[in-house]
Amino acid sequence: MCAKKDCFYASVYRNGKEITEPMDSDINTIANLLDPEEQVMAIGRDAEYFREFAYY
C-alpha cells in the first residue's frame, strides 16, 4: 500500500499494452479494471494482500 491510506500504486496492462496510467487507487477501483478471466500479475511488497482481497 502507498502512503495514501488504503491505496495501491498500480497500472493495468492487457496483452502487453498499458490500459491505465499509473495511479494511486483503492483496491476496489483497481479490481474493477481487471478481467476475472485473465491471469493477473501483482508484484510488490503488498502483492499478496492485493491478490487476497481483489477477487472477494
Confidence of residue 24 (pLDDT cuts 50, 70, 90): very high
- The pLDDT of residue 19 is 94
The model's pTM: 0.77
**Nearest Cα to Cα of residue 1 among 20, 32, 27, 40:** 27
**pLDDT over 90 at 21, yes or no:** yes
Give dist(CA 40, CA 36) in Å, integer: 8
Confidence of residue 20 (pLDDT cuts 50, 70, 90): very high
- The pLDDT of residue 3 is 56
Task: Please work out, in degrees rounded to the nearest 5, the angle formed at the alpha carbon of residue 54 by the alpha carbons of 8 and 21.
Answer: 45
**Nearest Cα to Cα of residue 27 among 55, 54, 56, 47:** 54
- The pLDDT of residue 51 is 85
